[in-house]
């Protein structure tokens, strides 16, 4: 099994198979617009701008499960990300990332890369780094700044 075995709904409504990202290095992030970590959108976009041509895709999954910090509609979320932070990387629909109703993708990610609280996702902006074959390489905590991932992203892009 790999990330490529899953599908998710884009924020614009269409279903997308993650197999379309086969051959790319992925950074999958659960996001929120009203969180102390929200400025990471800017840093994520900087990573995307720097490494996209070399094969990095960042996939943003808004989530309202942590303190209700993603209350807006999908149109509002998309507009906020684009206008406030210039986000151009793929954004997906609001997604449950923890608990019994978590999206199967996040159940898989959490199993493959447990964190400090085991499989549970701690908060917004938890990051999962995925290699070109769709395998989870590592989980990063919400407080880990996207720029701190550059060395590992570079290494995987060169594989």
Active site residues: 35
Q: How many CA atoms lie within 13 A of 51 on its CB side?
A: 26
Among residues 107, 105, 115, 118, the alpha carbon closest in space to that of 138 is found at 115
- Residue 114 φ then ψ, to 5°: -60, 155
CA 12 to the chain's CA centroid = 16
For residue 137, the tally of other CB atoms under 10 A from its CB is 16
Among residues 121, 142, 115, 127, the alpha carbon closest in space to that of 37 is found at 142
């Amino acid at each position: 099994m790999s990330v490529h075995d899953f599908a998710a709904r884009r924020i614009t409504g269409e279903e997308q198979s993650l197999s379309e990202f086969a051959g790319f290095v992925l950074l999958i992030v659960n996001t929120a617009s009203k969180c102390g970590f929200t400025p990471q959108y800017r840093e994520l976009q900087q990573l995307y701008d720097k490494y996209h041509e070399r094969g990095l895709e960042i996939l943003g999954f808004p989530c309202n499960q942590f303190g209700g910090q993603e209350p807006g509609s999908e149109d509002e979320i998309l507009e906020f990300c684009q206008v406030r932070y210039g986000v151009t990387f793929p954004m997906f629909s609001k997604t449950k990332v923890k608990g019994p109703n978590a999206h199967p993708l996040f159940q898989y990610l959490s199993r493959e890369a447990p964190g400090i609280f085991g499989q549970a996702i701690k908060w917004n902006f938890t990051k999962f780094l995925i290699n070109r074959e769709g395998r989870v390489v590592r989980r990063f905590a919400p407080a880990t700044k996207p720029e701190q991932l550059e060395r590992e992203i570079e290494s995987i892009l060169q594989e």
